[in-house]
C-alpha cells in the first residue's frame, strides 16, 4: 500500500469552509458517477463560483461564455443537476445544495424541468 504524502507543500489547498469545496462523499457515494455529460463541468463551476452558502450569482450568458456551452447545453446540464437534487434555482440565482442521502439514478423518462422558460429568459437577457 502506498503511503499518503503531500506532493507540493507550497500548493496545499485551503478551503476555509468557503469557496470551492466539494465533500468527499461526492466521489465516494457515487454522486460524481451519476452525472452525465456537461453536468459534471457545471457542478464543478458552481462549486468554484458559489459563495460560502453555495449560491452563485453568475448569469446564463456568463456561464455559457466561461464554459463554452450553448444555451441548450447549459439548460440540459442544469436540468440534470436539478433533477438529481444537487442544485436549486430562483432565477438568476443558483444554489449548490448539501448532498442528499444518495445519488439519484437517471430515469430515461424524466421530465424536462424548465428549459423553455430558461431559454426564453436567456434570449430576453
* pLDDT single digits (tens) 8-62: 887 777 666 666 788 889 999 999 999 999 999 999 999 999 887 888 889 999 9
pTM of the predicted structure, to 2 decimals = 0.77
Cα–Cα separations (whole angstroms), residue 25 to 16, 22, 30, 107: 18, 8, 8, 22
Cα–Cα separations (whole angstroms), residue 15 to 9, 34, 52, 95, 99: 15, 25, 10, 18, 18
Domains of the chain by range and CATH? 21-97 (1.10.10.10)
Query: 106 or 44, which is more confident?
Result: 44
Percentage of residues in the chain with pLDDT exceeding 70?
Answer: 74
Amino acid at each position: 500500500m502506498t503511503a499518503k504524502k503531500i506532493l507540493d507543500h507550497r500548493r496545499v489547498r485551503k478551503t476555509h469552509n468557503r469557496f470551492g469545496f466539494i465533500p468527499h462523499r461526492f466521489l465516494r457515494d457515487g454522486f460524481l458517477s451519476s452525472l452525465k455529460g456537461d453536468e459534471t463541468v457545471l457542478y464543478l463551476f458552481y462549486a468554484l463560483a458559489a459563495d460560502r452558502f453555495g449560491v452563485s450569482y453568475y448569469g446564463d450568458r456568463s456561464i455559457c461564455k466561461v464554459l463554452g456551452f450553448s444555451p441548450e447545453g447549459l439548460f440540459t446540464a442544469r436540468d440534470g443537476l436539478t433533477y438529481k437534487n444537487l442544485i436549486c434555482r430562483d432565477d438568476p440565482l443558483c444554489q449548490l445544495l448539501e448532498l442528499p442521502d444518495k445519488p439519484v439514478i437517471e430515469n430515461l423518462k424524466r421530465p424536462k424541468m424548465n428549459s423553455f422558460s430558461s431559454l426564453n429568459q436567456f434570449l430576453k437577457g
